[in-house]
Amino acid sequence: MKKISFIYVMICLGVLLQNTIHAKETPSVTDTKAYVKALKQLTDVMVSDVTGPCAAARYYAYANLAPYEILSHNTANVKLVKLKGKLNAYPNFEDLKSTVPIAEDFAAIYSLLRMGEDLLPSGYTLESARKELVQKTVQSGKITPQVLQASITYADSVVKRLVKYAAKDGYVKTSGYLRYTPINKEGYWQPTPPAYTEAYEPHWRTLRPFVLDSAAQFKPETVIPYSKDKNSAFYKLAKDVYDATQHLTKEQIHIANFWDCNPFFLNQKGHVSFGTKKISPGGHWMGITGIACLQKKVNLAEAVRWHAMVGITMADAFISCWDEKYRSNRIRPETVINEQIDPNWRGLLQTPPFPEYTSGHSVISSAVATVLTHLVGDNFAYTDVVEVEFGIPQRSFKSFKQAASEAAISRFYGGIHFKDSIENGQTQGANLGKHIVKKMQDLGVSSFVK
């Protein structure tokens, strides 16, 4: 054991970088599997908490930044560029130092769980997972007690600074605004059955984005004006939704359910109501990112980079989308169809509690697919099993863009979005994704694909 410890220390001393001392074992797919598992544990807590789509994306972004920050200070396998001065108001970490070497891979996964503990409402439930990680690391005998403690101390310091950074993004203020009152005019969004839930995150546009200059930077095309005229473009949009949902194929029904990603579906059986918890859109795409990492057998540093970039992309995409949602404040298909076409009509999916334009899943999926294509490569075939645990069969895709297009059209099949909201949402998301890709290229990395 003494000989192993000595060799490990020699390796650690050989990879010192800058003024902070870091140590790293040869990265392996095993580390990546452990990271994907830890991130799934965060997802499970969000599902249990019924975390909304906007908040979930925010949590994913901040949580993945902690391991990214730890690995960016010394990674021999892949260049992780420093984010100070690149992300809005991003803090400096150069002054955080360890007097002894640290085990970076352990610290990265440890920090991910710690971020979940500090950020999520029920994050305390991740304590057992964190302690199990520490225990298994001790039992492995791969690092000395001194290095283990130094790694924990350093990771905790990074987490503390990132949590402080997150606390200043405007999220806390959103809970202090006056309760949102729907605009009582024709064509504007109104709460929908069965719960008639109040508007979700009407002030999300006020949050500090990570990369965007402002929430309105990728403002989509102006919404088609509301009209009751049966010859109008708007009425045609509503009629298209109504007609399509009358004759859905089994495949279309599967697509709609597969991409539903509704954190809380309200079931009604007679006079009894109960909720079904599921994954959010962000959780689904985080799951896809993990699938890509494992399929490509990337090392931990690359896996962390992919997850961090996807997290940042999703967070900014929701800010961009929600900025438009509460600007155009457009009515949902369910409300229009019930008023003008069929009072008994209900879409396949449950209408979410926020304005219609643009389609959130279209924006987020197109943005993430654009970034993942840049990271992983085009025509990357994979099988998506993320929804299997919720009783929905797997689906296979030839590329991320194909998956994003399917996620977008699923909202039409589900009866919760008009066609223009989907199409313009895809454009909005793709433009945002391209912007983030360019931002990353400007950091000095011509391509993320290895």
CATH number, position 294: 1.10.606.20
Distance CA 425, CA 404 (A): 11
**160 and 248 fall within a common domain:** no
Kindly state the tokens that stand for 379.
């025509």
Q: Which of 414, 381, 383 is nearest to 396 (CA)?
A: 383
Based on the domain organization, do 291 and 422 belong to the same domain?
A: yes
Q: Is residue 180 part of a domain?
A: no
Q: Among residues 109, 134, 129, which one has the least CA distance to residue 304? A: 109
Statement to judge: residues 253 and 382 lie in one domain? yes
H-state helical runs in 175-299: 233-245, 250-258, 281-296
196 part of a folded domain: no
Q: Where among 133, 152, 171 does a domain terminate?
A: 171
Let me know if residue 181 belongs to a domain. no
The tens digit of pLDDT for each residue in 179-221 reads: 999 999 999 999 999 989 999 999 999 999 999 999 999 999 9
Best CA proximity match to 6, nearest among 151, 108, 155, 146: 146
Shared-domain flag, residues 131 and 64:
yes
pTM here is 0.91
CA pair distance 261, 277, nearest whole angstrom:
9
pLDDT tens per residue, range 20-72: 333 333 445 679 999 999 999 999 999 999 999 999 999 999 999 999 999 98
Domain boundary residue, one of 131, 146, 171: 171
pLDDT tens digits, one per residue of 402-432: 999 999 999 999 999 999 999 999 999 999 9
The DSSP element (H or E) to which 408 belongs, if any, is helix 400-413
Q: Is 366 within a domain?
A: yes
pLDDT, position 396: 98
Residue 283 resides in a domain: yes
Residues 234, 146, single domain; the answer is: no
Total structural domains within the chain:
2
179 located within any domain? no
Torsion of CA 368, 369, 370, 376, to 10 degrees: 110
User: 231 and 155 in one domain?
Assistant: no
Q: Are residues 129 and 236 in the same domain?
A: no
Tokens standing for residue 404: 């994003």
State yes or no: cis peptide before 249, omega within 30 of 0: no
Q: 315: domain range? A: 227-442
Task: Read off the pLDDT of residues 287-321 as tens digits, 9 standing for 90 and up.
Answer: 999 999 999 999 999 999 999 999 999 999 999 99
